[in-house]
Chain A
């Protein structure tokens, strides 16, 4: 990590299997760097307070709210944003189950669901509830989102049986 004039730090960020070099102010959040410096606008700014989950990304396999991570903390970690998912099963399931209305919370929900399904092959209802409570959908598509997650889990379980 090299220090540059104007108190900027040069960091390498591993995002969606690409290395981005960025000169950042140390107190810039990962969300602001993703959107304003790197053009990855899929992660949405909502509350900026760690409450709504619209900015959720995956870091080293776990969901994080990128508005409460400094970009400098993400250096050396493996980051996935919504742009890094290419027709993941959960994305298809969201479409098939109409799991959104306005769509603003959708990238955050999808990242959280994707992390959950990647970590657990067959999570309990309690685990699903605990994880998904981290995101807010003001259009209240919660039932459809739950159906989307359960459909992916069901398909995974069935495909393992075959």
Chain B
């Protein structure tokens, strides 16, 4: 049982949440924003995080939106993964999301929690990296809309007191040819070896990875090599691997060598699926 004396707040607006954060910080409560909370609850139980107050953003209207609006898909940070899978506005997002944890857990895990969590897989960010989405952040200096590539580098780089409100994705990206695959060492559940999400736009493959390095990423250099149609596929893959950001994970889920072996084969599967090669 979690008995620590932690305070709980449920603000109804962005401003109220931000004000609360700084008030609580001022009295040394080490506040945390909370949405699905699955990681916070489990990490707190294991004493891996310290906090004296949590600010639950689930009831802030802007965080609960999931709709198409003026040619953009607006996805609130507090939308549960199963809800966005069921609505299926963005099929690549639905498919990538389905690889996270298990169905019942995904009823609680939210998009914002997955993207901002400490567990490094953060698969739900991959489709947004590929679709050049915008990130809506709220903080002491107001609400900002920024290209995801400006603020997501391994993690979502937030200023103190700032939190993820929404992601906005151009409607034209939602129906593009795509492929998402999650490879595990064995079984259908558990932590992944590698997750790869792919989107084909203007004849070019866009590819983002999770589980290969200790952070999710999209690399333009890797994409450039994979799209070099002058070369046979094996050579493209070999060249692309030279541009992977390091380090390649080498852990209980799989060795570095095994991950690269699986990567090569999975990339071939992707070429077969989206390029017919």
A-to-B contact residues, CB < 8 Å: 1, 6-7, 9, 25-29, 32, 36, 48-51, 53, 56, 62-65, 67-70, 72-73, 112, 129-131, 133-135
Contact = CB atoms under 8 A, between A and B. Distances in A.
7 contacts: A25-B2, A27-B2, A27-B4, A27-B6, A48-B42, A50-B38, A65-B105
Contacts of B10: 1
A13 to B, nearest CB: 15
Nearest to A67: B41
B8 A9 contact: yes
Interface of B: 1-8, 10, 37-38, 41-42, 44-45, 54, 56, 58, 82, 98, 101-105, 107-108, 188-189
Given A26-B7, A26-B8, A130-B103, 14 more contacts: A6-B5, A25-B6, A27-B6, A27-B41, A27-B54, A28-B3, A36-B1, A49-B42, A50-B42, A53-B102, A62-B107, A68-B42, A70-B8, A70-B37
3 nearest A-B pairs in the assembled complex, by CB-CB distance = A26-B8, A134-B104, A134-B102
A137 to B, nearest CB: 13
**Interface residues of A: mostly helix, strand, loop or mixed?**
mixed
Nearest to A108: B104
A68 B105 contact: yes
A28 B38 contact: no
B41 A68 contact: yes
A152 to B, nearest CB: 18
Contacts of B104: 53, 56, 63-65, 112, 131, 134-135
A128 B7 CA distance: 39
Contact of B37 (A53, A68, A131, A135): A68
A87 B56 CA distance: 37
B56 A68 contact: no
A29 B188 CA distance: 28
A71 B54 CA distance: 14
B128 to A, nearest CB: 23
